[in-house]
Amino acid sequence: MGRYLRERLMSGTALDRNAIIIGLRDLVAELRNSGEVAGIRLVGGAALALCYFDRGTTQDLDVLHVRPGSDDSVAAAAERVALKHGWDAKWLNFEVTKADAVPTLVRVVEWETIYDEDGIV
């Protein structure tokens, strides 16, 4: 097992569907309180858990680069949420860089909006 994977397994936060929802609500509140706008696009297991089925726990939420808005402002807000809940500071993972990091089978990626209010999508 590689060092990166081993570190993630040992230090990760276990987030179930309920924790994901709470974390995202708190993230929206943090962004709103800071006057930020943000288009946050979730991919991977957390997106599946929110939209289709409860898949157990995940250690982080995979997020494509924020558009509109800033990765840095969303990451700072996410760190404040992590501190509040005692989660890993990187529970919001920006290491996924593009939608085709997930198999799309040559189909166009269609985004489903699950929240849209006051410039935070």
SS3 at position 21: helix
- Angle, helices 17-33 vs 71-85, to 10°: value is 120
**pLDDT at residue 23 in the model:** 94
- What's the predicted TM-score (pTM) here? 0.74
Mean pLDDT of the residues in the chain: 78
pLDDT in tens, 27-86: 999 999 999 989 888 888 788 788 877 777 888 888 887 888 899 999 999 999 999 999
pLDDT band at 6 (very low <50, low <70, confident <90, very high): very low
Residue owning tokens 């949420």: 81
